[in-house]
Amino acid sequence: MATSQISRNLRDGELVISDGSTPPLTLTVVLDEGDLTWTQRQRTIEVKDRGSIAAGHLRKGDDESVQLSFTARWTQLIGKSAHEADALQLYETLMFASGTGVTSTSGAGQQETLTFVFTVVDPAGVAGETITFSKVYRETLTLSEGDDANLIAFSGRAFTTAPIVSRI
């Protein structure tokens, strides 16, 4: 059985962002704070029988997309969009900046989306996992100054009911 009892923590994670190009452009987020958070919601309709739960029942509600967020430290905001030879930077990737070549994973005319792949390695080396969020779109991007480091805070949604979790 390829399972391990060692709890994972932020040291074990790695977030990679990829776009819709063939082959995809990828960016490993190397300076993230290790605070990736996502929430999978399930909507349920409670049907009560004349106010009674005991005689009532539950029905499935509408699908709900996955909410996710993470924070990363700044180095520079733009690289490839300023100079083609420079490395792609996080901010310009999330913003689909002109000159970066970052392409949406959704079709033309739709909201721009990316794929987030979060890998959590097993410290015991037997049961690493990847968590793939498809069709991730940006809701807010908050940039803030700080004493130790300036931060980029991403908040958005994956247009799927749950990420795909698979064994490495």
Contacting residues toward other proteins, per CB under 8 A: 10-14, 28, 30-32, 34, 75, 121, 147-148
**How many residues does this entry show for the chain?**
168
Sign of the torsion angle spanned by Cα atoms 141, 145, 150, 151? negative
Residue 28 CB, nearest distance to other proteins (Å)? 7
Q: Which is nearer to other proteins, 11 or 59 (CB)?
A: 11
Integer Cα distance of 15 and 31 in angstroms: 10
Residue 131 CB, nearest distance to other proteins (Å)? 15
Q: Which is nearer to other proteins, 34 or 56 (CB)?
A: 34
Residue 142 CB, nearest distance to other proteins (Å)? 21
Q: Which is nearer to other proteins, 12 or 129 (CB)?
A: 12
Element containing residue 140 per DSSP (H, E): strand 129-144
Is residue 152 within 8 A of residue 135, CB to CB? The reply is no
Residue 127 CB, nearest distance to other proteins (Å)? 17
Q: Which is nearer to other proteins, 121 or 141 (CB)?
A: 121
Q: Which is nearer to other proteins, 10 or 55 (CB)?
A: 10
CA neighbor of 119 nearest in space, from 44, 53, 49, 28: 28
Listed in sequence order, the residues at least 6 apart from 94 whose beta carbon sits closer than 8 Å to its beta carbon are 17, 114, 138, 141, 152, 154
Integer Cα distance of 14 and 119 in angstroms: 5
Residue 162 CB, nearest distance to other proteins (Å)? 24
